[in-house]
Structure 1
Amino acid sequence: MRVKAGMAKVCGLAALLALAACGGGGRHMETGTSMASARASGVAPAFGDAEPVEWKSRSPRAYPVHGIDLSRYQAPVDWRTARAHGVSFAFIKATEGGDRVDAGFAGHWRGAGAAGVPRGAYHFYYWCGPATTQAAWFIANVPKERGALPPVLDLEWNNASPTCGSYRPDPETVRAEVQTWLNIVGRHYDQRPIIYTTPDFWERNEMWRLSGMDKWLRAVTRHPSEVYGDAAWTFWQYSGTGLVPGVQGPVDVNAFAGTPDAWARWVADRTL
């Protein structure tokens, strides 16, 4: 989720993609979604990449269940094509700070749901605003729908913000604010939120001290075990320049940590 307020992803598209098809569903998925919707085939999708990496240890291809995260910069999306080519889940940017809604959220949310792609919403946290305000803003703009994946809190520094860009609270304050947001949002949606973060943020703020939630870790040149040590993770963002049929332009691509059966169980347990 490297796109921040006012910044677009800029990348040239090149390459034709040869991809493996995937299926997908969860116990409480909304109308038009079946149990098959949360399942993936046993073969990892062969997504392309505008800036490919030569993986020196375990490659993302070792994991069979893949998905995307996106914002207004990838609108519109042909969700049925994306699903047919291996997109087993999507996390969609909804809000930033206490007063911004991503212009692509509503369309992506409807489109993914209609195509039977399990999807969740994420909030980009602003460090110069209180957690209570930001939690309320997310709740005001993200529907509480059966079948939704858990909400996500995107934790990075606000480098692009003219007001928050240089502000760096101490690690104890960071973790306290994060916990406040997680508690408020978790109670509202009756779900345990996920936290997404980056190597520098993880290390500086000792995010391993927070427990009890799924972790989504960014590592675009190495396996998470080489970047985050023995930290347990559920999702791995392995590229910000993925090329996926049905999606316009480069997009963040991610792997789930388990098998297709584990994914189906996770969805069944963690959807609303």
Structure 2
Amino acid sequence: MRRHLLALLPILTLLSACTYADYDLVSTSSISPRFQDKDPQNFGERTPHHHAIHGIDVSKWNGDVDWPQVRKSGVSFVFIKATEGKDRIDSRFNDYWQGARAAGLAYAPYHFYYFCSTADEQADWFIANVPKSAVHLPPVLDVEWNNESKTCRFRPSALTVQAEMKRFMDRLEAYYGKRPIIYTSVDFHRDNLVGQFNDHHYWVRSVAKHPTEIYTDRRWAFWQYTSTGVIPGIKGDTDINVFAGSAKNWKNWVEAVSKPQQVARN
């Protein structure tokens, strides 16, 4: 019997190092934002600017990107849209991940999920279009309610959502050897993910309040705190994110997850 060993080292390293208590112990003195924001929010004392590691997420709508300039500005990582549903690929995906890699940035592809296609159809599509070399950090599953979609606004039950997510993520983990990260929004998390998938890293959207105020009891690894950021090397508004841990945590985690997961025989 063959099975994939869980990536326990990076998970335990991150979860033990990035607790809410650790964050609250950080000095709350005034810290200047690393990047400009066209619509800055008041997060109180627990601002994203206390975090050492910042990153961005991009899709074709970000246009041409000067990746060396992006890295020089202080960006450490980038999540790049790869696929959507069972039949769409972002037209800039290949250019973006190769540019990010050449610039020395940590990078990962993400898939935007549609509940009008099966988990296997979408996993097949992702695997067919995302080479293993494009998966430096673990791949990301982006799950949100598609309120504005012209083709799929279907909202299955929470149990169905969880079953489909598990199937999709299990397929990706088996193929790429890395446990997927889950990206989600406040309403989708509330409806489907409270208390679920606690052995996965979460990337949460929270653009008006600190995540601990709206994702109750959810330990997060990445926080998307604005969609109106200004990043040198990118024209127009850009999503900006922070990593929950310290610079040392980040270095150790990237070293661990960027290696292929080991396979053991029983």
Fold shared by both chains (TM-score > 0.5): yes
The runs of 5 or more residues in structure 2 that have no matched partner are: 1-30, 260-266
Equivalent position SS for 2:57: strand
Report the equivalent of 1:185: 172
**Amino acid of the structure 1 residue aligned with 2:235:** Q
Report the equivalent of 2:25: none
CA contact (8 A) 1:127 1:158 kept: no
Which residue among 79, 85, 95 is the counterpart of 1:107?
Answer: 95
Report the equivalent of 2:122: 134
Q: Does 1:60 align with 2:38?
A: no
RMSD across aligned positions (CA): 1.4
CA offset at residue 54 of structure 1?
A: 1.6
Measure, in 2, the Cα distance between the counterparts of 1:206 and 1:186: 19
CA contact (8 A) 2:185 2:206 kept: yes
Report the equivalent of 2:60: 72
CA offset at residue 45 of structure 1?
A: 6.1
CA offset at residue 163 of structure 1?
A: 2.3
**Amino acid of the structure 1 residue aligned with 2:227:** G
Report the equivalent of 1:219: 206
Cα-to-partner distance string for 1:173-203 (whole Å, 9 max, x where unaligned): 0000000000000110000000000000000
Report the equivalent of 1:198: 185
Report the equivalent of 2:79: 91
Measure, in 1, the Cα distance between the counterparts of 2:47 and 2:38: 17
**Correspondence list, 1:108-257, <5 A:** 108-145=96-133, 148-165=136-153, 167-257=154-244
**Amino acid of the structure 1 residue aligned with 2:124:** A
CA offset at residue 146 of structure 1?
A: 7.8
Measure, in 2, the Cα distance between the counterparts of 1:147 and 1:194: 12
Report the equivalent of 1:46: 34
Measure, in 2, the Cα distance between the counterparts of 1:212 and 1:135: 20
Measure, in 1, the Cα distance between the counterparts of 2:51 and 2:36: 16
CA offset at residue 230 of structure 1?
A: 2.1
Scaled by the length of structure 2, the TM-score of the pair is 0.83
**Amino acid of the structure 1 residue aligned with 2:163:** A
The runs of 5 or more residues in structure 1 that have no matched partner are: 1-42
Report the equivalent of 1:266: 253
CA offset at residue 246 of structure 1?
A: 0.6
CA offset at residue 213 of structure 1?
A: 0.8
Equivalent position SS for 2:44: coil
CA contact (8 A) 1:45 1:66 kept: no
Scaled by the length of structure 1, the TM-score of the pair is 0.81
CA contact (8 A) 1:94 1:142 kept: yes
**Amino acid of the structure 2 residue aligned with 1:140:** A
Larger CA deviation: 94-103 vs 75-84: 75-84
Cα-to-partner distance string for 1:129-149 (whole Å, 9 max, x where unaligned): 100100110111111028711
Measure, in 1, the Cα distance between the counterparts of 2:169 and 2:81: 17
Measure, in 2, the Cα distance between the counterparts of 1:45 and 1:70: 20
**Amino acid of the structure 2 residue aligned with 1:80:** P
Larger CA deviation: 93-102 vs 245-254: 245-254
CA contact (8 A) 1:44 1:66 kept: no
CA contact (8 A) 1:194 1:214 kept: yes
CA contact (8 A) 2:207 2:224 kept: yes
Equivalent position SS for 1:205: helix
The 3 A distance-change label for structure 1 pair 45 and 86 is: farther
**Amino acid of the structure 1 residue aligned with 2:77:** F
Measure, in 2, the Cα distance between the counterparts of 1:147 and 1:178: 19
